[in-house]
Amino acid sequence: MPSNIVLVTGVAGELGGRLLTRLGNNPDLERVIGVDTSPPREEVLRRIGHAEFVRADIRNPLIAKIISTARVDTVVHASTTCHPAGPGRRMAIKEVNVIGTMRLLAACQRSPLVRKLVVKSTAAVYGASSRSPAVFTEDSELIPASSNGYAKDAVEMEGYVRGLARRRPDITVTTARLVNLIGPDVDTVLSRYFAMPVVPTVFGYDARLQLVHSSDALAVLEQATLHDRPGVFNVGGDGVLTLSQAIRRAGRVELPVARAMMPSVSRLLRGARVVDFSSDQVRLLNFGRVVDNTRLKKVFGYIPRWTTQDAFDDYVQGRGLRPVVDGQRLAGLATAVDGWRAKL
Amino acid sequence: MTTSSSAQVIPLHRDGGGPGRGQAPRPDRDAPVVLFPGGSAGTGPAAEQDRLGRLLTFLAHRLTGDFTVDEFGFDPELTETVVLPPLRLLYDRWFRVETHGVENLPLDGGALLVCNHSGVLPLDSVMTALAVHDNHPYHRHLRMLGADLVFKTPLLGTLARKSGQTLACAPDAERLLGAGELVGVWPEGFKGVGKPFSSRYRLQRFGRGGFVSAALRTGVPIVPVSIVGAEEIYPKLGDLKPLARLLGLPYFPVTPFFPLLGPLGAVPLPTKWHIEFGEPLPTDAYDPEAHEDPMLVFNLTDQVREAIQQMLYRRLSQRRSVFKG
């Protein structure tokens, strides 16, 4: 049975807002309701279509009322933030991530009309360490990198989602574990990170990064909302970039910092309100994380249109990042030397 | 996995029946004349001439970040341009490595190379990787499985990933084998590489046989490899355990020259090496659930271990001198 009345949480966020405009312009849906504590961004409101925005907190019992009175049949939970871009208050984010999810799922369980739940999760649930396998599949063990970080929230949240799926087997549950999001117009921790002229890295480590373009992430969430795709899926582009490679592609200056100094650097960046550099994030820069997207392609039926490298280049161009170190020109020099040599 | 049919081993050289058994050692570089563009432009006379040109191209790629690494972090361009050439000096001049039975390496498809481990520092693994790369007709890279200590160490861990190594764990091994790569394991681990000089060429316990299950699951052949010469490069006489514990190392070796002569003592002895690739042991004949049978896994583990031990003894009995071979 196709979805008809959709509730989207976290519409003030990057993906939630976009998803709301997509669904709001879909004539097959009878009603689309966006929920968040703060209104969506201006451009989202302009292109919202027939979708509505309700200012509500998912931690509030009001959410159950909205779900039952609007006769919602599909809930898209996109409000969890694992990699907040800017400095936020840790406890406040944890509240929304964990308590908000519990409340929302309780409301879903109570309402007999809810048939589908789509959850935006994160690949950070797999953690990142020297003992991790190089590539995580959906069946890999979930070992969050730190015991109190956002990734831990996500692991707890997924636990509650599994609990709901067990208690209400009639609900189709889709969990999308997204790798780090990138794109020309999204504000994520990595988009802020690579926009800095001098990029601090952990000395002696060159992490493997896998990215997903925001349009691909959005398409996955949209398809999961419109069609039935039960299961857990890793969502990431094909291919891998190393951190140093990405820095050079963006023309930034790499600043290796000793691992012991990293907490001070991240505090400094937080204090300057540049980028939120959580401990999960530092672990990611240490060891990197790559997920297997075979299940997304074969079972879910979505082929990511952007590879990691293309998505990153799109971000660099779309942002109009002016290179601090012009690798292209230096490389041109090397090629020119090669040319002269050939002539001699 | 789909590689079970392609995992058949096709002998490269039809001459001289058995694989390098007692016959004159093959010339090291009979391979690069084969015109296969699929192989990497690593060695070969033409490439030698244009070394500077390649170096400049490499530099240009580094400056723009215009290269690709695979999901394990393997960077073939970096490996061939920066990592292998200095090792090749060590390989050719210092250890004068001789290889035997290269025809036992499959032309394509996955295979698991199981080798004896020794030498205090794991030089045997990098030399084996170079032996495979330089002697295989397609210059295939050996993807090695390393301990987590390697990947925890700054610089070393990164270099290991970039040169194609990954963590020794079942998911990674099966993924590489399933993708049709040549995978190298040293199942003795630290027990092998850090064994005292007195127990040289005596194989230690072969882990828990995880490598056999990985091969069974993916249906790839197991190629036993014996490395002779590596066990004498650092004669480990003692072990400073408290110091090792302090530094977080599995052992702290004492050799006749180290730590007595300081960094000079870290120069390996110039022993003569022989790397022999034995006859592959096919695993695709077993039923798909075979890896669930611990008895079979243990038996196969012992079989591989026995094969390597036999190869070692045979090679040792032919050796007249440690340094001259």
More confident residue, B177 or B34: B177
- Considering only CB atoms, which chain B residues are within 8 Å of A316? none
Which of the given ranges, A307-316, B206-215, B242-251, has the highest pLDDT on average? A307-316
- Considering only CB atoms, which chain B residues are within 8 Å of A342? 53
Is-contact B172 B158, C-beta < 8 A?
A: no
Q: Distance (Å, rounded) from C-alpha A87 to C-alpha B61?
A: 35
Q: What is the 3-state secondary structure (H, E, C) of chain A?
A: CCCCEEEEECCCCHHHHHHHHHHHCCCCCCEEEEEECCCCCHHHHHCCCCCEEEECCCCCCHHHHHHHHCCCCEEEECCCCCCCCCCCCHHHHHHHHHHHHHHHHHHHHHCCCCCEEEEEEEHHHHCCCCCCCCEECCCCCCCCCCCCCHHHHHHHHHHHHHHHHHHCCCCEEEEEEECEEECCCCCCHHHHHCCCCEEEEECCCCCEECEEEHHHHHHHHHHHHHCCCCEEEEECCCCEEEHHHHHHHCCCEEEEECHHHHHHHHHHHHHCCCCCCCHHHHHHHHHECEECCHHHHHHHCCCCCCCHHHHHHHHHHHHCCCCCCCHHHHHHHHHHHHHHHHHC
Nearest CA to CA, how far is A330 from chain B (Å)? Answer: 7
Q: What is the pLDDT of residues B42-74, one digit of tens each?
A: 444 455 557 788 888 899 899 889 999 999 999
pLDDT at A262: 87
**Range A165-179 average pLDDT:** 96
CB pair distance less than 8 Å for B157 and A290: no
Is-contact A154 A320, C-beta < 8 A?
A: no
Q: Distance (Å, rounded) from C-alpha A41 to C-alpha B66?
A: 36
pLDDT at B6: 46
Q: What is the pLDDT of residues B179-196, one digit of tens each?
A: 999 999 999 999 999 999
pLDDT at B28: 43
CB pair distance less than 8 Å for A331 and B61: yes
Q: Distance (Å, rounded) from C-alpha A218 to C-alpha A221?
A: 5
**Range A303-311 average pLDDT:** 97
- Considering only CB atoms, which chain B residues are within 8 Å of A130? 148-149, 151-152, 157, 167
More confident residue, B288 or A109: A109
- Considering only CB atoms, which chain A residues are within 8 Å of B155? 204
Phi, psi of A205 (to 5 degrees): -125, 140
CB pair distance less than 8 Å for B73 and A287: no
Q: Is A208 on the interface with B (CB under 8 A)?
A: yes
Q: Is A307 on the interface with B (CB under 8 A)?
A: no
Q: Mean pLDDT for chain A?
A: 90
- Three-state DSSP at B324 gives coil
CA A227 → CA A115, B106, B166, distances in Å? Answer: 12, 45, 38
- Considering only CB atoms, which chain A residues are within 8 Å of B69? 208, 240-242, 245
Is the confidence at residue B22, as pLDDT, over 50? no
Q: What is the pLDDT of residues A240-276, one digit of tens each?
A: 999 999 999 999 999 999 988 888 888 888 888 788 7
Q: Is A335 on the interface with B (CB under 8 A)?
A: yes
- Considering only CB atoms, which chain A residues are within 8 Å of B75? 242
Longest dimension (CA), chain B: 55
pLDDT at A332: 81
pLDDT at B24: 41
Is the confidence at residue B41, as pLDDT, over 70? no
Q: Which domains does chain A have, with CATH numbers?
A: 5-328 (3.40.50.720)
Nearest CA to CA, how far is B97 from chain A (Å)? Answer: 31
Indicate the residue type of A292: D
Q: Distance (Å, rounded) from C-alpha B126 to C-alpha B95?
A: 12
Q: Mean pLDDT for chain B?
A: 86
**Range B192-201 average pLDDT:** 92
pLDDT at A88: 63
A1 band by pLDDT with thresholds 50, 70 and 90? low
**Contacting residues for A321 by C-beta, under 8 A, at least 6 apart:** A194, A195, A250, A251
CB pair distance less than 8 Å for B64 and A208: no
Q: Distance (Å, rounded) from C-alpha A319 to C-alpha B87?
A: 43
More confident residue, A90 or A161: A161
| Residue among A205, A327, A335 whose CB faces B158 most closely | A205
Q: What is the pLDDT of residues A187-208, one digit of tens each?
A: 888 999 999 999 999 999 999 9
The DSSP bridge pattern shows strands B222-228 and B274-277 to be: antiparallel
- Considering only CB atoms, which chain B residues are within 8 Å of A132? 167
CB pair distance less than 8 Å for B169 and A133: yes
B1 band by pLDDT with thresholds 50, 70 and 90? very low
Is the confidence at residue A165, as pLDDT, over 90? yes
In chain A, the percentage of residues whose pLDDT exceeds 70 is: 97
pLDDT at B18: 40
Q: Which domains does chain B have, with CATH numbers?
A: 96-233+268-318 (3.40.1130.10)
Q: So what's the ipTM on this one?
A: 0.89
Is the confidence at residue B80, as pLDDT, over 50? yes
pLDDT at A82: 64
- DSSP-derived secondary structure for B285-323: TS-TTGGG-HHHHHHHHHHHHHHHHHHHHHHHHH---TT
In chain A, the percentage of residues whose pLDDT exceeds 90 is: 68
A87 band by pLDDT with thresholds 50, 70 and 90? low
**Range B292-304 average pLDDT:** 94
**Range B242-249 average pLDDT:** 91
CB pair distance less than 8 Å for A259 and B72: no
Low-confidence winner among A164-168, B28-32, B168-172, B241-245 (lowest mean pLDDT): B28-32
Among chain A residues, the shortest Cα distance to B51 is held by A338
pLDDT at A339: 79
Among chain B residues, the shortest Cα distance to A333 is held by B60
Gyration radius of chain A over CA positions: 21
Q: Which residue from B250, B245, B208, B247 is spatially nearest to B122, judged by alpha carbons?
A: B250
In chain B, the percentage of residues whose pLDDT exceeds 90 is: 73
Is-contact B215 B1, C-beta < 8 A?
A: no
pLDDT at B236: 93
Is the confidence at residue A91, as pLDDT, over 90? no
CB pair distance less than 8 Å for B73 and A240: yes
- Considering only CB atoms, which chain A residues are within 8 Å of B59? 331, 334
Q: Distance (Å, rounded) from C-alpha A3 to C-alpha B88?
A: 63
Is-contact B161 B73, C-beta < 8 A?
A: yes
Q: Distance (Å, rounded) from C-alpha A214 to C-alpha A180?
A: 9
More confident residue, A122 or B19: A122
More confident residue, A211 or B48: A211
Segment 236-265 of chain A within 8 Å of chain B by CB: 239-242, 244-249, 259
B29 band by pLDDT with thresholds 50, 70 and 90? very low
Indicate the residue type of B195: K
CB pair distance less than 8 Å for A206 and B67: no
∠ at Cα A146 (A140, A151), nearest 5°?
60
Task: Fill in the DSSP letter of residue B269.
Answer: P
Please name the residue ranges forming H helices in B223-282.
241-247
pLDDT at A277: 77
Identify residues of B whose CB sits under 8 angstroms from chain A CBs.
Answer: 52-53, 56-57, 59-73, 75, 148-149, 151-155, 157-158, 161-162, 166-167, 169, 171-172, 175
Nearest CA to CA, how far is B252 from chain A (Å)? Answer: 22
Gyration radius of chain B over CA positions: 19
Longest dimension (CA), chain A: 82
Calculated CA dihedral for residues B281, B287, B291, B297, nearest 10 degrees: -50
CB pair distance less than 8 Å for B158 and A137: no
The token duo for A138 is: 């959906």
Q: Distance (Å, rounded) from C-alpha B61 to C-alpha B80?
A: 14
Residue B285's Cβ-side half-sphere holds a number of Cα atoms within 13 Å equal to 6
Low-confidence winner among A83-92, A123-132, A246-255, B244-253 (lowest mean pLDDT): A83-92
